Amino acid sequence: MLPEITTYRNSERARYPFCPGCGHALVNDHLNAALVQLQLDPRQTVIVTDIGCVGMSDQYFDVHAFHGLHGRALTYATGIKLAKPALKVIVLMGDGGVGIGGHHLLNAARRNIGVTVLVFNNLNFGMTGGEHSVTTPHGGITATTRGGNLERPLDICATVAVNGASFVYRGTAFDKDLPARIAEAIQTPGFALLDLWELCTAYYVPNNRFSKTELLQTMQALGLAAGVLQRTENAEFAHAYRARITDQRGQPVAPSQPVEQKFESALAKPTRIVLAGAAGGKVRSTASALALGGMYSGLWATQRDDYPTTVMSGYSVAEVILSRAEILYMGIEKPDILAVISPEGLSQVPRQLRAMDATQTVYVTPDLANQIETRARKVVFDLDRAPVPKKALALATTAAIVRHARLYPLEALREAICAGQRAEFAQENLRALEASETILQEVVS
């Protein structure tokens, strides 16, 4: 049994730095009382502070302390909780932090991450000189709303409550039972928030002739209820995450996927190949198989894909280089082989077509053959005799090219198209491969 802790306040820096009458001092005292009530192990407790006058608070407590950027306290708190779910993580932030970090507040509530948030809500930015915040009441006078605030104040509690917070409380720094409420929040496994209205005696109070009475009246006038507003028991995120991944423990980590050489290629010089087709036409998977087949045949390979961000429509162009030596520069300005498989693909390769010369070859489907002007050799597939479904065109023509250009044994491509495929896809691929025989026989040069 550990000796009882009578205060979590840091004796070295006992006096708060806040202005006389500042509500921050009251809330910090209530927090201290709550910690004393709970007798938390200081080594298992973290106070994460935001920026602003409230951000100085962590220095006055003898627990772990993390003082981060304006509005981002919840992100560090989330990281801490995810890494060490057993820790009690308490976030102290101002209404300014709620504003600039609103996105994190929404998401922390929505995730139900197990942290406790105390909003030191003094209705304005204290530290920077009394500017308006997201909670400044309508009509409130601040340094940036001299004629009265036109904006509607944010209902912090309703916002986090509707998004799944486990515990939500609205009150003031003057609430007598606040230590008990804070303690309950800290003991809540999921996301807990206390919206604590208080006085900024340097700015909001003098600017608006404000006191405890006006504070309570404002809350009432806005129709904002006080007290515990929500208690739910959804799963806490950090624990839920751990539970979700337990069955993955011990699975092989990033296992290597060796590609063994099983065939020989007679390819003499580096060969740069471009497949220009359409989205949905299996251009990329065909290019992968082409490269893999090369590797099965002892070659080095690279593959680069280009496609619009809307992956299911438009062009799909893949570049493959096969070489006997390691490939450094991966670009292709002047392909040795260009396969034009669809109009979408054709639209992407005018530069390459212009650059190619008579030592190089364009392979093209009959429908596009006469749209192509190039100095390169032109090889047209005859698809009339051996109709190939559109989806299989890239693979069938690529297989034909592997044979025709003698890149490597067709057997290697056959293995590559079946590698890692489910049986029905492998069958489909094999049919396309067989079709290549027919269309190649009919090649018209």
Partner 1 sequence: MREFMDGAEAITRGALAAGCNFFAGYPITPATPILLRMLRELPKIGGVGIQGEDEIASIGMCIGAAMTGAKAMTATSGPGLSLYSENIGLGIMGEVPLVIVDVMRLGPATGGATTVAQGDVQFLRWGTSGGFPVIALCPTNAAECYALTQRAFNFAERFRTPVFIATDKEMISAQQSVETSTFENIPIADRARAPAEGEFVPYRVKRLADTPLFSPIGGAHLVRFTTSMHGERGILTKKPSNVNKTSRHLYEKIEAHRAEFELVAFDAPERAPTVVVSYGITARSMIEAARDARAAGKKVSTLTVHSLWPVPARALRDALRGATRVVVPELNFGQYRLEIERIALALDPRPQVIGVNRVDGELITPGEIEEQIL
Ligand X SMILES: Cc1ncc(C[n+]2csc(CCOP(=O)(O)OP(=O)(O)O)c2C)c(N)n1
Q: Contact 210/122 with Cβ under 8 angstroms?
A: no
Question: Using CB under 8 A, which of the segments 119-127, 212-220, 256-264, 361-369 binds partner 1?
Answer: 256-264
Nearer to Mg ion, 126 or 294 (CB): 126
The site for ligand SF4 (CB under 6 A) is made up of: 18-19, 22, 24, 53, 122, 126-127, 200-203
Q: Is 76 in the site for partner 1 (CB under 8 A)?
A: yes
Q: Contact 370/393 with Cβ under 8 angstroms?
A: no
Q: Is 88 in the site for ligand X (CB under 6 A)?
A: no
Q: From the list 57, 122, 201, 352, which residue makes contact with Mg ion (rule: CB under 5 A)?
A: 122
Q: From the list 38, 46, 54, 432, which residue makes contact with ligand X (rule: CB under 6 A)?
A: 54
Collapsing DSSP to helix, strand or coil, 160 comes out as helix
Collapsing DSSP to helix, strand or coil, 253 comes out as coil
**Residue 365 partner contact from partner 1, ligand X, Mg ion, none using kind-dependent CB cut-offs of 5 to 8 Å:** none
Q: From the list 23, 68, 85, 94, which residue makes contact with ligand X (rule: CB under 6 A)?
A: 94
**Chain centroid to CA 279: how far?**
26
Smallest gap, in angstroms, from Cβ of residue 52 to ligand X? Answer: 2
Phi and psi at 50, nearest 5°, equal: -85, -165
Q: Give the footprint of Mg ion on residues 77-116 (CB under 5 A).
A: 94-95
Amino acid at 21: G
The count of chain residues that interact with partner 1, using the rule CB under 8 A, is 71
- Using alpha carbons only, give the angle 435, 423, 293 rounded to the nearest 5 degrees: 60
Q: Contact 61/9 with Cβ under 8 angstroms?
A: yes
Q: Give residue number: closest CB to Mg ion.
A: 94
Q: Is 36 in the site for partner 1 (CB under 8 A)?
A: no
How many CB atoms within 10 Å of residue 273? 28
**Residue 19 partner contact from ligand SF4, ligand X, Mg ion, none using kind-dependent CB cut-offs of 5 to 8 Å:** ligand SF4
How many CB atoms within 10 Å of residue 275? 32
DSSP secondary structure, 266-289, as one string: ---S-EEEEEEEETTS-HHHHHHH
Nearer to ligand X, 53 or 362 (CB): 53
What the block records as the tokens of 163 is 């998004």
Q: Give residue number: closest CB to ligand SF4.
A: 126
Note the residues at the interface with Mg ion (CB under 5 A). 94-95, 122, 126
The footprint of ligand X (CB under 6 A) covers: 50-54, 70, 94-97, 120, 122, 125-128, 133
